[in-house]
Structure 1
Amino acid sequence: MSFDPNVYQSAAAHFSGGQYHEALSALGAMLEASPAHPEALNLAATCCYCLNRHAEAESHWRRAIAEHPDIAGNYANLGNLLLAQGRLSDAEAMYRQAIRLKPDFAEAHYNLGNLLNRLGRHEEGAAALLDALSVRPDFAEAHFNLGNLRTEQGRADDAERAFRAAIAARPAYADACNNLGNLLRASGRTKEARAALRQAVVLRPDFAEGHLNLGHVWRDAGRWARALALYRRACDVRPDYADAWRSRAAVLSHQERFADAEAAYRQVLALDPGDAAAHGALAYALDRQERVREAEVAYRAALALRPDAAELHYNLGVLLGDQKRLDEAEAAYRNAISHDPDYAEAHNNLGRIVRDLGRLPEAAAILGHAVALRPDVREAHNNLAATLKDMGAMAESIAEFRRAVDCAPDNECVHRNLNYALTYHAEDPHEILDECLRFAARHEAPLRPAEVDYPNSRDPSRRVRIGYVAPDFNMHCQSMFTAPVFGAHDHAAFEIVCYSSTSDTDHITASMRTKVDLWRDVHALSDEALAQRIRDDRIDVLVDLTLHMSQGRPLLFARCPAPVQVQWLGYPGTTGSSAIRYRLTDPWIDPPGRPDVDARYSERSIRLPETFWCVDPRVTTQHAPEVGPLPALANGHITFGCLNNPCKASDRTLNMWAAVLATTPGARLVLLSPPGARERAAERLGALGVDIARIEFLDYQPRDAYLRTYDRIDIGLDTFPYNGHTTSLDALWMGVPVPSRAGETAVSRAGLSFLMNLGLGDLAAHDDAAYVDIVSRLACDLPRLAHLRASLRARLEASPMMDAPRFTRHLEAAYRAMWQAWRAAPD
């Protein structure tokens, strides 16, 4: 049978229509008649290739080459087959032979270039692609692949030229627009990148990668909604595109849409179950939805896939620490560090956990290492400072807080910690004021509105709306002071609103809610959102009960949500804020007419007529203990005691205590000082000549057991410059007198205020020697001690400090005077 051109044309038509079997049937007869026919052999090989019958395809092409060794196309086609089979060296030989036979064979140069790049022989590959382009300058794919190669090599300018040449050769080349956009994005040329990627998706609306990459550009610019829309489009056009789901989930998590983020991460894991990072991100989304058990399961699934992933161990540690599973959290952080010994954040969190476990010296060492690893991590400085404070090393603690502020000058929480720490150490009130003024200038001033138009009615006959802001309306010592006032307010004249940032509510919270007109749980609100809530509530007088203590909200008050703002209770001192106009105090903390006294505060001092404090120790006590007999009568010696926070035991305090013990040789000292702090206290007192055998160190105790400790104490020793506040009132309520050393700062005059309100002014001293003398003489006066033991609780209960209605009338008069001053001021 001779060659029939019509049969060949029929076979070619079948091939063009994708009918490869029909094409091969037609070619079979031809090849029987003309076994060496070059076109028939090539077409038969190509049909077999398309049908994945690679062995037959190779046989046909090798037969074609054997019969016609001068036809370059057969070598190139066989090279393509061998490349598809991964037989790269054989494929390279075929391409090179094709090029030897036909040096201007652009496709062979192109395919050789791609193969060489696959082999990592990039310069040879680039040369081959350039050879292809020298033959065919408009070869768009060659320009495109050269651009990809130059991108991998970090030769951005050459890559850009190649991509632009590809687009010039083929303006509708969506892949080239996409890769050019990625290159421009990596170079920071955002506007040009956006234009290129937009063109890619216009050219090909179903181009999932283009939508994804355009989304990245908008995400980089902080345009999260636009990015999310593009990621969603990428998922729609290609539902199995795991990278698009990852990016979609990440944006949803950033937007705190954690339920939606969870769904997206679950889709990622359905497509790629081995993605450890997605398991970890899913865990975070679950944690933020307070589904901590599921979150833990997800973290552990991530770690099963990547047990060496330090960050996953770290995140699990965070989750466990938040649940107060401290031992497990410690183990997780140690695992993180074992895989990454220089992981400063893990050292920091480990130190914080060890501190919470009470191993203070160990915590300080760990945190010191964290600081050495990353001196710029403010959390490590802050946690080290807090640990040193717990150990009673206040000078070192303050120095570390200052380093934390230097690391993060815009972090108001760290700066607040410094401000509050200074009150424990500074004896000059202006030192405290100066730092608080720096805080206000840095953090509050930018938030304070230039003008505020308050819609509050100025009708003098209406009820005045008082708003209290605090995080501690629960089993916290502050409730001993707020609860009696809330219960005594005149609700006919005042409307009382509480803005509670309390996350751990309890029976005290529930009781307080019944004593006020409106209770708002605001712990989840930002300062800005809470400020708007307060404006909407039309609060007349807003009271800050926390100042610079933990979880205070000075940046709320900086926004001036109420026409009158006043601070009270947290501790007597200053905020430094120009937004808070008033501070409450009393004549003993800040004697009227005393030179310079009011210049110590940024606020205007309003002196309540008798006392700054209104207290009821029973609020936080389940079983109020009765006062026991004077222990010295049974013991035959005086027992001094101080159950204050160890950080109040300054060097000056210890000097006075040592002098007292020296004048009372048989006396003992009971000292609250948990492990980690007690070693330092023992060393310091020992250096002052105190026999440590005379000291009994106690750990922290539940409140009822703590109160019973006063049954063993005859005289309370006060601290300086931060006097005991709640602790001294507890001691007095338990029949234990607490002589006090008054200084210049407000917190150093609390004891004086207590004693004057109890008619015991003779127990207040104004210098160290006088304090030692007062305490020593009192220790020798057992009859007076016995009388005080029997009468102090009744004396306290009869004083202005436990007369809640009387105190609250004074407080309300102060509020009304402040409000009247605002009313009288011009609009």
Structure 2
Amino acid sequence: MSFDPNIYQSAVVHFSGGRYHEALTTLSAMLEASPTHPEALNLAATCCYCMNRHAEAESHWRRAISESPEVAGSYSNLANLLLAQGRLSEAESIYRQAIRIKPDFAEAHYNLGNLLNQLGRPEEGEAALLDAIRVRPEFAEAHFNLGNLCKEQGRAHDAERAFRAAIAVRPDHAEAYNNLGIVLRETGRPREARAALRRAVALQPGSAESHLNLGHVLHDAGQAGRALAFYRRAADLRPDYPEAWLSQGAAAHTLGRPRDAESAFRASLAIRADDVQALSGLGLALSDQERFADAEAVYRHVLELDPGSAIARGALGHTLHQQGRAREAEAAYRTALAARPDLASLHYNLAGLLGEQQRLHEAEAAYRSAIVHKPDYPDALNNLGRIVWQLGRLPEAEGILRRALVLRPDHSDAHNNLACTLKDMGAMDEAIAGFRRAVTCSPANKIAHCNLNYALTYHTEDPREILDECLRFAAYHEAPFLSERVRHPNDRNPNRRLRIGYVAPDFNTHCQSLFTSPVFGAHDHEAFDIVCYSSTTRTDDVTTSMRAKVDLWRDVHELSDEALAKLIRDDRIDVLIDLTLHMSRCRPLLFARRPAPVQVQWLGYPGTTGSSAIRYRLTDPWIDPPGRPDVDARYSERSIRLPETFWCIDPRVTSTEAPKVGPLPALANGHITFGCLNNPCKASERTLRMWAAVLAALPHARFLLLAPHGARERLIERLSALGTETTRLEFVNYESRDVYLQTYNRIDIGLDTFPYNGHTTSLEALWMGVPVPSRAGETAVSRAGLSFLMNLALGDLVAHDDDAYVDIVSRLAADVPRLTDLRATLRPRLEASPMMDAPRFARHLEQAYRDMWRAWCDAPD
């Protein structure tokens, strides 16, 4: 049978309709009659190829080439088959034969270019693609693949040009828009990238890749919520797309939704089980949920897969750190740094660990290393500033923190730390403004808001201003807990032995221990079971001594507020006492969870927490005169007045030995030496005016002040502006407690501060024989001196206005015989007073606890 065009056309119709078997049957009959017909052989080969009968396809194309070696298309088709079978070298040779026969064969140039790039010969591949474009400038796929080749080589601008050429030829080329968007993102042109990717999504709504890449651009722009929506759509379109789930996890992490992040990372791992990136993301999500043991297991698995990963080793260090395994954490950080000393984040995390251990100089060095490797690292600058502040180098700390804020003006923690530094330098107006900025930048910054609340007690004379700010704190931070109904199963027997819990971070060599230690030792342990919840990170001999005085000691510095609240409930505490209020390392959100039926605040300073969860505050009749509703309205808590004093001290708790009271310095010096060893932040403008007036009234007197550098220069400037000769001023720095107490042997009269009186400082001065006349005001902290002096029967040393204060101090300075007598009698007078009678004070305290407990027992559930 000769070649019949109609039969051939019938085979073509079958082929076009996807009926390859029928087409091949038709062609087989033709090829029996005309076995060398090139068109029939080519079509038969193509049918076989489509039916995955590759050996037959190859045989047909080789016969076609043999019979018609001048037909370039047969070579190209055979090469395509060989390429599909992975026979790349053979395919290359055949493509080249096709091009030799037909130099303007654009598809052959194009396919050869793709093959050469696949063989790792991108320069030759690029030349072939350029030949395809030269032959056919409107060849969109050649432009597109040239763009891909350039992109893989990191030649972003060449890639951009090629993708734009593909789009110019074919405006509906969704893949070209997608890849153009990728390149534009990589070259830092987010707006153009977003536009290109939006076009890609519009042209191809079913493309998971385009949705994913648009999500990346939005995530980069800080629009994590919108990015998450595109990542989710990508996963909906292609559920087996691990990158879509991985990106969902990253966006959820950015949004602070660690549970969603965990779910997404686990979905990614279900597709690609040992993907290190997804595992690392899962570890981060678990850490964000404080599931550090689970995170540790994940990071250890990552290190099994990639033992040399410094990032994973550093992340492991973080989880160990958070579990309180400091030695293991430090070892992990240092191992990671040995492998990657250039990773700033590793230096940063190590520095944080060292800082917590009070290895401040080592922490400083580690933060500086982080900054060397990443100069624009505001978090490291912030923490370095904080460490330098802790080391007492205040002006240097100020400069570092201001650098952090230049890099990130809304850095809440940096504003907070700068404010702390300014406070210690005595710049209280600036400090309070800084704390307010910190809270404005991040209303959730609990530490900054606590610092603001406490700083106001140094600054304002209006108790309502303090209460209003504390109420704002409570309204924001306690809100998540207010709706929870808390039931306490405690036995409502009003007369049984009560479990009393004290919560504090300073059960060690700290001024607070001067008050807590004697009380713990004097408690009636038959009637009261005393439990301490210690957040102390640095224990010492004082800690050991205090531990021996209580019935149960709990080290809880590693526990979250939620975990500690559960522990307190499990311990069946009846009365829980907050000893810190808004001072450093306080735990207001522990008390917001109401772990005990009766909650009380005492000791940190006389004031208010603003908390609706703390029902009572302890005070005394001098701080808060009874019978005055306007005084009680200054606090969110109900004021319970101890009958004599708010304070009970034993100054010997943290001293190696009690220093002796020396003779009155004025007897040897021939002049009065005033002194103030309070924190310089208490030196308000009003205080300085009173001090300057005293010094003006006594032109031969001298003034000894405690002030570190930074605060010292500011005090000199401010007192000089008020007419005080700076040659009359002498400064000392912070010293050990024994040296500090001996300093009082150089002082005749202590000058108090206002509106925040000296508290511990004044009691220590009195114990060292130094009288401290005091100016009383309206806020609780401005009435501490009044309370001390009334309990010592020295009410004549209390002033209720500034002029009276200057007059009282001036008269006392002129009365050397009285000063001599006070020098000899103040210590025994203090020791005989209620302020050093721990058993007497403890009975008053216990009666207050019992009365509070009875009120709870009588109240309806």
One-letter identity of the residue aligned with 2:796: D
Cα 1:542–1:262 change in 2 (3 A) is: closer
What secondary structure does 2:533 align onto? strand
* Stretch moving more, 488-497 or 685-694: 685-694
Query: 1:274–1:305: 8 Å Cα contact kept in structure 2?
Result: no
- Give, as a single letter, the amino acid of the residue that structure 1 aligns with 2:145: N
Instruction: Tell me what 2:651 maps to.
Output: 617
Aligned to 1:293: 330
Q: CA deviation at 1:94?
A: 5.4
1:110 to 1:580, Cα distance in 2 relative to 1, 3 A: same
TM-score normalised by structure 2 residue count: 0.80
Q: Secondary structure at 1:686's aligned position in 2?
A: helix
Instruction: Choose 458-467 or 119-128, whichever is displaced more.
Output: 119-128
| C-alpha distance in 1 between matches for 2:321 and 2:805 | 54
- Tell me the distance in 1 between the aligned counterparts of 2:646 and 2:460: 21
Check conservation: 1:465, 1:540, Cα contact below 8 A.
yes
Kept after mapping to 2: 8 A contact 1:4/1:30:
no
1:608 equivalent in structure 2: 642
Which residue in 1 is equivalent to 2:145?
Answer: 114
Q: Corresponding residue for 1:393? A: 427
In structure 1, distance between residues paired with 2:230 and 2:438? 41
Q: Quote how far apart the aligned CAs of 1:477 are.
A: 0.8
Among all aligned residue pairs of Structure 1 and Structure 2, give the percentage whose two residues are the same amino acid: 61
Q: Residue 746 of structure 1 aligns to which amino acid in structure 2?
A: A
Structure 2: how far apart are the matches of 1:220 and 1:816? Answer: 49
1:285 Cα shift? 4.2
Q: Check whether the contact 2:313–2:332 (CA below 8 A) recurs between aligned residues.
A: no
Q: Is 1:678 equivalent to 2:715 in the alignment? A: no
1:305 CA drift (Å): 4.7
Q: Output aligned runs, 1:509-528, within 5 Å.
A: 509-528=543-562
Residues 502 and 631 from structure 1, CA distance in 2 versus in 1: closer, same or farther, beyond 3 angstroms?
A: same
Residue aligning to 1:583: 617
Offset, 1:543: 1.8
Q: Distance in 2 between matches of 1:95 and 1:627?
A: 100
Matches of 2:230 and 2:816, distance apart in 1: 88
Q: CA deviation at 1:34?
A: 8.7
Distance 1:78 1:671, change over 3 A: closer
Q: What per-residue deviation string (whole Å, max 9, x for no partner) do you get for residues 255-304 of structure 1?
A: 34446545655766787799776566455445445334335425635754
Q: Is the 8 A contact 2:488 2:596 kept in 1?
A: yes
Name the residue aligned to 1:719: 753
- Matched to 2:389, the amino acid is R
Cα–Cα, structure 1 residues 526 and 82, in superposed 2: closer, same or farther, change >3 Å?
Answer: closer
Counterpart position of 2:837: 803
Q: Does 1:457 align with 2:488?
A: no
Partner amino acid for 2:473? Answer: F
The whole-number CA distance in structure 2 between the counterparts of 1:12 and 1:192 is 41
* 2:129 paired residue among 74, 88, 92: 92
Which of 675, 685, 690 matches 1:651? 685
The answer to whether the 8 Å contact 2:333/2:346 transfers is no
Structure 2 counterpart SS, 1:497: strand
In the other structure, the counterpart of 1:376 is 410
The verdict on how the C-alpha distance between 1:771 and 1:185 changes in structure 2, with shifts beyond 3 A counting, is: closer
Pair 1:507-2:517 in alignment: no
Report the Cα distance in structure 1 between the residues aligned to 2:105 and 2:711, rounded to whole angstroms. Answer: 91
Residues 56, 335 of structure 1: CA spacing in aligned structure 2 closer, same or farther, 3 A cutoff?
same
The answer (yes or no) to whether the contact 1:114–1:145 under 8 Å persists in 2 is no
Contact 2:234–2:244 (CA under 8 A) maintained in structure 1:
no
Equivalences for residues 112-261 of structure 1 within 5 A: 113-116=144-147, 118-119=149-150, 120=159, 121-126=162-167, 148=179, 154-164=195-205, 176-177=207-208, 179-180=210-211, 183=214, 188=226, 194=232, 196-198=234-236, 200-201=238-239, 208-209=242-243, 212=246, 224=258, 227-228=261-262, 231-232=265-266, 234-235=268-269, 238=272, 241-258=275-292, 261=295
User: Are 1:750 and 2:784 an aligned pair?
Assistant: yes
8 Å CA contact retained: 1:669, 1:696:
yes
Pair 1:749–1:208, CA change in 2 (3 A): closer
Deviations 1:433-486 (A, max 9, x none): 333333333333553347543322222331223222222111111111111111
Spell out, residue by residue over 1:574-598, the C-alpha distance to the aligned partner (whole angstroms, 9 max, x if none): 2233333322222222233457333
Match of 1:557 among 591, 608, 612: 591
Shift in Å, 1:745: 2.0
* 2:804 counterpart (770, 777, 796): 770
1:35-54 to structure 2, matched below 5 A, reads: none
Q: Distance in 1 between matches of 2:174 and 2:482?
A: 58
Give the deviation of 1:729 after TM superposition.
Answer: 1.3
Could you say if the C-alpha distance between residues 522 and 794 of structure 1 is closer, same or farther in structure 2, counting changes exceeding 3 Å? same
Name the CA shift for 1:433/1:328 in 2 (closer, same or farther; >3 Å).
same
CA distance in structure 2 between the aligned counterparts of 1:361 and 1:249, rounded to whole angstroms: 40
Distance 1:82 1:393, change over 3 A: closer
Deviates more, 1:513-522 or 1:724-733: 513-522
* Structure 1: 5+ residue stretches without partners: 134-141, 168-175
Moved more, 182-191 or 746-755: 182-191
CA, structure 1 residues 222+348, in 2 after alignment: closer, same or farther (shift >3 Å)? closer
Choose which of 396, 411, 415 in structure 2 pairs with 1:362: 396
- Per-residue CA deviations over 1:303-344 (Å, capped at 9, x if unaligned) read 5456xx6x6665565455445454555455556666766654
Please provide the CA RMSD for this pair. Answer: 4.2
Q: Given the superposition, is the C-alpha separation of residues 63 and 755 from structure 1 closer, same or farther in structure 2, using an over 3 Å criterion?
A: closer
For 2:71 and 2:481, the matched residues in 1 are separated by 87
Residue 787 of structure 1 aligns with an amino acid whose one-letter code is D
Q: Which stretch of structure 1 is more off in the superposition, 481-490 or 65-74?
A: 65-74
1:95–1:511 CA distance, 2 compared to 1 (3 A): same
**Equivalent position of 1:138 in the other structure:** none
Unaligned runs of 5+ in 2: 1-33, 151-158, 184-192, 219-225
Match of 1:697 in 2: 731
User: Is contact 1:36-1:67 (8 Å) kept?
Assistant: yes
1:361 and 1:221 map into 2 onto residues whose CA distance is: 37
Aligned to 1:821: 855
